[in-house]
Chains A and B, each alone.
Chain A
Amino acid sequence: MSQTLDSISLHQLVEISAIASSAIAPKLSEMGLTKGQKIKAIFKAPFGDPIAYEINGNIISMRKEEAMQVEVQMA
Chain B
Amino acid sequence: MKIALLGNPNTGKSTVFNMLTGLRQQVGNFPGVTVDKKQGSIKTPNHTQQLIDFPGAYSIFARSLDEQVVQDVLTNKEHTDFPDAVIYVADAANLERNLLFFSQLYDLGFPILLVLNMWDRAQRKGLRIDIEKLQQQFPAATIVTANARVAIGKDRILQALDQLQNGDRTPFFDLDLTTLQTDSTQTDNTNARLDKLRNIGLVQNAPTTPVNSSTRLDRILTHRIYGYLIFTAVLLVIFQFIFSFASIPMDFIDGQFVRLSAWGAANLPEGLLSKLITQGLIPGIGGVFVFVPQIAILFFFIALLEESGYLSRVVFIMDRIMRPFGLNGKSVVPLLSSVACAIPGIMSARTISDWKERLITILVAPFMSCSARIPVYTLLISLVIPKTYIGGILNLQGLVLFGLYALGILFALGTAFFLRLIVKSGKPGFHLMELPEYKAPRFYNVGIAVYEKVKIFIFDAGKIIVAISVLLWALASYGPSSRETKLNELKVSASYTKASPSQQQELENSLLLSQSYIGHFGKWMEPAIAPLGYDWKIGIALLSSFAAREVFVGSLATIYAVGDDTDNNKRLVQKLRDEKNESGQVVYSLATGASLLVFYVFAMQCMATLAVVKRETNSWKWPLIQLAFMGIIAYLSAFVVYQVLL
Do A and B come together as binding partners? Answer: yes
Query: Which residues of A does B touch, CB under 8 Å?
Result: 19, 21-32, 34-35, 38, 42-47, 49-50, 52, 54, 56-63, 66
A10 to chain B, nearest CB (A): 11
SS class of chain A's interface: helix, strand, loop or mixed? Answer: mixed
Partner of A63, one of B214, B227, B431: B431
B123: Cβ under 8 A from any A Cβ: no
CB pairs A–B below 8 angstroms (20 shown): A21-B183, A21-B184, A26-B187, A28-B432, A30-B190, A31-B58, A31-B97, A46-B223, A46-B224, A47-B224, A47-B320, A50-B319, A50-B431, A54-B210, A56-B206, A59-B210, A59-B218, A61-B316, A61-B431, A63-B432
B191 touches A35 (CB 8 A): yes
Which residues of A have CB within 8 Å of B58? 27, 30-31
Closest partner residue, chain B, to A40 (CB atom): B209
Query: When A and B form their complex, what is the total count of cross-chain residue pairs whose Cβ atoms lie within 8 Å?
Result: 133
In the complex, besides A43-B219, A46-B227, A61-B431, 8 extra interface pairs with C-beta distance below 8 angstroms are A27-B430, A32-B97, A42-B218, A54-B210, A56-B208, A57-B207, A59-B436, A63-B319
| Assembly CA distance A21 to B436 (angstroms) | 27
Closest partner residue, chain A, to B101 (CB atom): A30
Which residues of A have CB within 8 Å of B61? 26, 30
B432 touches A24 (CB 8 A): yes
Query: Which residues of B does A touch, CB under 8 Å?
Result: 58-59, 61, 63, 94, 96-97, 100-101, 183-184, 186-187, 190-191, 194-195, 206-210, 214-215, 218-219, 222-224, 227-228, 312, 315-317, 319-321, 427-428, 430-437
Which residues of B have CB within 8 Å of A19? 187
Which residues of A have CB within 8 Å of B431? 50, 61-63, 66
B432 touches A26 (CB 8 A): no
SS class of chain B's interface: helix, strand, loop or mixed? Answer: helix
Closest partner residue, chain A, to B189 (CB atom): A26
B125 to chain A, nearest CB (A): 8
Which residues of B have CB within 8 Å of A21? 183-184, 187
Closest partner residue, chain A, to B315 (CB atom): A61
Closest partner residue, chain B, to A60 (CB atom): B434
Partner of B222, one of A25, A52, A60, A66: A52
A45-B63 contact in complex given A21-B184, A61-B312, C-beta closer than 8 Å: no
A23-B432 contact in complex given A45-B320, A52-B218, A52-B316, C-beta closer than 8 Å: no
Which residues of B have CB within 8 Å of A30? 58-59, 61, 97, 100-101, 190
Which residues of A have CB within 8 Å of B186? 25-26
| Assembly CA distance A50 to B328 (angstroms) | 11
Partner of B432, one of A58, A59, A61: A61
Which residues of A have CB within 8 Å of B434? 31, 58-61
| Assembly CA distance A17 to B224 (angstroms) | 31
B178 to chain A, nearest CB (A): 15
Closest partner residue, chain A, to B225 (CB atom): A46
A56 touches B224 (CB 8 A): no
A43-B320 contact in complex given A21-B183, A62-B432, C-beta closer than 8 Å: no
A29 touches B218 (CB 8 A): no
A59 touches B320 (CB 8 A): no
Interface centre among B63, B101, B206, B430 (most CB of A within 10 A): B430
Partner of B195, one of A34, A43, A47, A66: A34
